[in-house]
Structure 1
């Protein structure tokens, strides 16, 4: 069970770290705790699996990454875990998902690929088809980036 301090930490982390030389110290100061306590609590939340990871979000377009494609694959059910593990290991794949199929949409596995250009994306997909021994897929290139907001947790409770 989470106590009020843990909820405040999670709420603060979901807002993003302050842009300062010591972001965790600034966050701890804002929460009225020491930096050591903040690190200790974050570590415990991670050990319990409540927090999976802390990471940054890159605006691909502004970073010069112009090739973005969601690849919808048909993967045999018995190969989903194997293919998912392999895809999760490629540095150019940022997301892997398994989804339900539909009568008019047989694709059950999705990967998001980022590269410098659409041509580079196509070359990476070609490499994947050979390495994964998969041939049935659909390319869904990004038409427009919609800036996502981070999910805020517990902010309404505290």
Structure 2
């Protein structure tokens, strides 16, 4: 497939073609739990596994696909409690602390955000546990490990929506 580039290396036409739309649609559903999952997804998109993987890699390189990941349905796997923890981290330590927290198996999300005058927290983690007490212990452990003490803990009261975005789907 030919690629259009300007002299500075940027894509002149970064539009997503019909084949790539089919591949993106195939990637959006449940991941097949079989020996050759990409073969199943390629069949769903109507292409060979080799072409499917080739296009996925190309779309990642072209920044058309930013990430692929799993969605944890925490209640279905036995985690009855979770808490969003907003941490106040020294900006010079943000990357170091984020890497330490993200390495915890109890943390499913870890990301930084801009602070506000009345909200000084710049790092957020989603912690899952079997009880509120377990979440408290995990968070205390993260604080001890990183030396970051100032935090706000926001427990989930009710989950309103948990679905991934669907692109190129008919309404």
TM above 0.5, yes or no, is yes
Unaligned runs of 5+ in 1: none
Supply the RMSD in Å over aligned alpha carbons.
2.3
Aligned residue number for residue 140 of structure 1: 154
Deviation beyond 4 Å, 4+ runs, structure 1 = 18-23
1:39 counterpart (39, 47, 53): 53
SS of corresponding position for 1:152: coil
1:132 is displaced (CA, Å) by 0.8
Give distance in 2, aligned partners of 1:45 and 1:146. Answer: 32
Which residue does 1:102 correspond to in 2? 116
How many residues in Structure 1 have an aligned counterpart in Structure 2? 156
In the alignment, which residue of structure 2 is the partner of 1:111? 125
Relative to the length of structure 2, the TM-score reads 0.78
Q: Where do 5+ consecutive residues of structure 2 fail to align?
A: 1-13
Give the Cα–Cα distance (whole angstroms) in 2 for the partners of residues 16 and 52 of structure 1.
Answer: 18
| Structure-1 separation of matches of 2:160 and 2:76 | 13
CA displacement, residues 76-110 of structure 1 (integer Å, 9 cap, x when unaligned): 11111111122121111111121122232221211
CA distance in 1 between counterparts of 2:88 and 2:43 reads 50
* Matches for 1:1-158 after TM superposition, within 5 Å: 1=14, 2-17=16-31, 23-155=37-169
**Is the Cα–Cα contact under 8 Å of residues 26 and 42 in structure 2 kept in the other structure?**
no
Higher relative contact order (CA 8 A, sep 6+): 1
